[in-house]
Amino acid sequence: MTSSTRMLHFHKIVLLAVLIAISGCKSTQEAKTTTQSTATPPELAHLPSDVRVDGTDIIDIQLTLGDRNLYLADNGHIKMVSISQCPIDISAHRGDFRYPESSDIAIAAALVDNYNSVEIDVMQLKDGTWVNHHDSQTGRATVYYTGKRYKIERMSPKQYANLKLRDKASNELLDRRPITAYEAFTTFAAYRSYGQTLNVEIKSEANGHELAKLDNMLRQTVGLGGYYYSASDLEMLERLRGINPTVYLGFVQGAHPTSVDKLTADLRRGISNDDYYLDNQNKIEFAGRYGTKRYRSRYKNYASSAGIKKLSDKLGVNSGLHLDIRSFMQNPSVLNSSHRYGMKVYTYSINGTDFHQSQLKRLAKKSYQMVSLSIQVHTRSAKSYLMLLCQINAISP
């Protein structure tokens, strides 16, 4: 079967594509014994023992996935072949993308399926309780049982406990509630394997005492070395550095205004037939217009020598800048500036894998050396998007 046909089968079963070519990742050969009733074809003998071997064109499907260090397991999950020798890191953004956000099952499933890291968002309730929640208010991924919309920062723990999660595929409410940050941390600790880490993105404007409480909770549940922070609030990250001198701190610079405009337009076109979108079209479009206008006026670019120095002065060692790929392409000197101050540079995109991949290929042609990749699956209104995070550690002469 031709490679183009393989790709067609591949797109039918998986929503993410890993850019292997740039980093040269190779799968680990693993000896295995199988208990499957169907004999394993010789072409798939190098894959783990739970590889699916039955089904139409399964060999071509598995080989296509294998080119990306992935395979289709018997339980229908897409798993990594190996996380021990491959420079590509796959991070589950808000947990496994097939399960509801802010749920323990999304975190556990991602870890069981060998994602290198799990990203979660944390914010505070009215009394300071840390919870696992992405949006500043209810209505999209979580719904109050009466249908009333609440700002998370104004909710009590009792009200938060009465929220229900929304199914991503059907948008129906589930008999499950979102979890607290402590529950997220303990779930991660219970299911993690060696080397798996937790990326805690902080969404609330917390003071030093509240951040110390959060860090202490992580030390007690996950342990030092098992977690790191990211946030778009530089001053808050600076406070965290005073609390934890060694943890990695990633400053997430906001997406480029052009990327925001592109995403807004794509969302409106792509989900115009989604029932939930239609039911809330006026609110969503108003928020999109308002957010974009405000975003352009508040956008700050740290991808300059002065910007990198400011970040380095505030965050110190073991820190980095997470940068929209459009911003990176417009500021290529950021790489040299970051190396001068010992900082890492990551790139991401909110406009999908294909766009990010095309930009990374452009960099590769210019002799940039890509050292590691991290995939994050990002979902909006039951539609799946891919956020690609690429760490750039060196530049070839």
Output phi, psi for 151, to 5 deg: -80, 135
Task: Tell which wins on pLDDT, 87 or 144.
Answer: 144
Q: Report the mean per-residue pLDDT for the chain.
A: 76
Q: Are 325 and 349 in contact (CB under 8 A)?
A: yes
What pLDDT, on a 0 to 100 scale, did the predictor assign at position 260? Answer: 83
On the question of pLDDT at 16 being above 90, the answer is no
Give percent above pLDDT 90 in the chain. Answer: 38
Give 29's pLDDT tier (boundaries 50, 70, 90).
very low
Least confident of 66-75, 204-213, 280-289: 280-289
The residue extents of the domains of the chain are 3-80, 88-138+178-258+298-395
Which of 20-29, 154-163, 172-181, 247-256 bottoms out in mean pLDDT, i.e. has the lowest?
20-29
CA R_g for the chain? 21
Average pLDDT over residues 107-111: 94
Higher pLDDT, 87 or 201: 201
Strands (E) in 97-192, as ranges, are: 117-124, 130-132, 142-144, 163-165
Model confidence at 14: pLDDT above 50: no
Residue 59 half-sphere exposure, CB side, CA atoms within 13 Å?
9
Task: Give the CATH fold of the 88-138+178-258+298-395 domain.
Answer: TIM Barrel (3.20.20)
How confident is the model over 264-269, as a mean pLDDT?
71
Distance CA 215, CA 241 (A): 11
At residue 353, the pLDDT reads 67
Q: Give the model confidence (pLDDT) of 143-157 as tens digits.
A: 998 888 999 999 999
Residue 387 reports pLDDT greater than 70:
no
Alpha-carbon distance 21 to 173, whole Å? Answer: 41
pLDDT of 307 reads 93
pLDDT band at residue 296 using 50, 70 and 90 as cut-offs: low
Cβ atoms 371, 393 nearer than 8 A: yes
Between 55-64, 229-238, 328-337, 384-393, the lowest mean confidence (pLDDT) is in 384-393
What one-character DSSP code corresponds to residue 166? B
Report the pLDDT value the prediction gives residue 177, as an integer from 0 to 100: 96
Residue 308 pLDDT more than 90? yes
- Helices and strands in the chain: count of H runs, count of E runs: 15, 16
Q: Which of 114-123, 154-163, 356-365, 379-388 has the highest mean pLDDT?
A: 154-163
Taking each helix axis from N to C end, the angle separating 234-243 and 305-315, rounded to the nearest 10 degrees, works out to 30
Of 84 and 89, the one with more pLDDT: 89
DSSP 256: P
Mean pLDDT, range 179-206, rounded to an integer: 95
CA distance 360 to 392: 10
Mean pLDDT of 119-125: 96
Residue 271, pLDDT score? 55
Q: What angle do CA 366, 368, 372 make, to 5 degrees?
A: 145
Tell which wins on pLDDT, 116 or 390: 116
CA dihedral 236, 239, 244, 249 (to 10 degrees): 40
Distance CA 168, CA 99 (A): 7
**Amino acid (one-letter) located at 382:** A
Give Cβ neighbours of residue 146 (< 8 Å, ≥ 6 apart). Answer: none
Rounded CA gap, 127 and 161, in Å?
Answer: 14
Q: Dump pLDDT digits (tens) for 198-253.
A: 999 999 999 999 999 999 999 999 999 999 999 999 999 999 999 999 999 999 99
Burial of residue 261 (number of CB atoms within 10 Å: 0-12, 13-18, 19+): middle
Mean pLDDT, residues 267-271: 62
The predicted structure's pLDDT at residue 248:
95
Least confident range from 68-77, 244-253, 377-386: namely 377-386
Average pLDDT over residues 87-98: 75
Least confident of 147-151, 273-277, 285-289: 285-289
- Give residue 246's pLDDT: 94
Residue 374 has pLDDT above 70, yes or no: no
The answer, yes or no, to whether residue 85 has pLDDT greater than 90, is no
pLDDT band, residue 113 (cuts 50/70/90): confident
pLDDT value at residue 269: 67
Classify strands 78-80 and 70-72 as parallel, antiparallel or unpaired: antiparallel
Beta strands 227-231; 197-202: pairing state: parallel
